[in-house]
Amino acid sequence: MTYAIPLFTALLVVLLLIPPIRALALRTGFVDRPGGRKIHGQPIPLLGGTAIYLGVIVSVLLYAGWTAQTKTILTGGTLMALTGLLDDSCKAKGKDFPVWPRLILYLAAAGIPLLYGIGISSVRGWEGQIAFPQAVIWIGTILWMFAIPNMINFIDGVDGLASGIVSIASAALFLAALWQRQPESAVLAAILFGVSLGFLAYNFYPARIFMGDSGAVFLGYTIAVLAVNGSFKSATVISLAVPVLALGVPIFDTAQVFLRRLLKGKGLHRADNLHTHHLLMRWGLSQTQTVAFLYLVELAFTLLAVILLLLYPSL
């Protein structure tokens, strides 16, 4: 199967769905209103995550087969998307969704890959394959599956940033999957690239729709599944590093934000203006310049990942 077919299917589904979804959000008041930390000056439709979700699900069901990866996305990804949608609904009403229910639901979704046999299980060392203890597999997989969706959500604060970063990261993971001869992962990476690119057409500055928490955490969850079932499955040191580098911008952003919050004595879950995109804009960059700069940083990370994979395929 050519990978262009699932890619363009996902792209087309998103492009066709966004106009009616946007109209529905405006008609029902499902919008993100300006104020507080927000930098947009008018209400923006907040249902973009629905188009992202449907674009991935339709394409996966058509082209990815009834595999453990597909089942994980259908169950865990749906749980993440619905939880994010509840959060978005509260925001549209000017309310906050409670932290603890959201945390519990995200953790539940993070454990679902393990139910289908997807997990970070071993690594190839100098003396052969080293299998991880069961507790390490569970903890490592759940931490990864919980962290990446939230990291993608954290960077979704400037028009086009999250969707553009996921586009670049999924392209890198697509190349990695081809190099490692993992067609199942390559199909999912192509679908993610198509969905992210289609959404970016409506989300780049000035954004006409936001993906909301539902879209951000679902994208993050799906790309986290892709990494665990793809590069992490190869179990070499370099293959483990590839998705970490491919997601370098959200990982770096989260690390520096948490460090700043700790130094200021703030709660790690408290929203603030300490993210990298906030800092760049305070330094005088426009939204477009900020996003372009972070795209370049993300491209540098992904280029390094691809070079390492090509130079040291067996390390």
In terms of Cβ atoms closer than 10 Å to its own Cβ (0-12, 13-18, 19+), residue 192 is buried
Task: Give the pLDDT band of residue 123 (cuts 50, 70, 90).
Answer: low
Q: Are 214 and 271 in contact (CB under 8 A)?
A: no
The pLDDT of 47-57, averaged and rounded, is 97
Q: What is the pLDDT of residue 137?
A: 86
Residue 103: band (very low, low, confident or very high) from pLDDT cuts 50, 70, 90? very high
> What's 296's DSSP letter?
H
Closest among 161, 252, 211, 191 to 50, alpha carbons compared: 211
pLDDT band at 174 (very low <50, low <70, confident <90, very high): very high
Q: What is the mean pLDDT of residues 46-61?
A: 97
pTM of the model: 0.93
Asked if 113 contacts 145 with a C-beta cutoff of 8 angstroms, the reply is yes
Residue 267 has pLDDT above 80, yes or no: no
* Distance in angstroms (rounded) separating the CA atoms of residues 172 and 243: 8
Q: State the chain's mean pLDDT as an integer.
A: 90
Dist CA 171 CA 93 (whole Å)? 36
Task: Decide if pLDDT at 48 tops 70.
Answer: yes
Average pLDDT, stretch 95-118? 94
- Inter-axis angle of helices 237-246 and 248-264, to 10 degrees? 70
The residue type at 301: F
What confidence tens digit (pLDDT) does each residue in 269-286 have? Answer: 566 677 898 889 999 999
Q: What is the pLDDT of residue 40?
A: 63
pLDDT at 165: 97
Q: What is the mean pLDDT of residues 199-217?
A: 96
| Region of residue 117 (left: phi > 0; alpha: psi -120 to 50; beta: else) | left
Q: Over the stretch 4-44, which tens digit does the pLDDT of each residue have?
A: 999 999 999 999 999 999 999 999 999 988 766 566 668 89
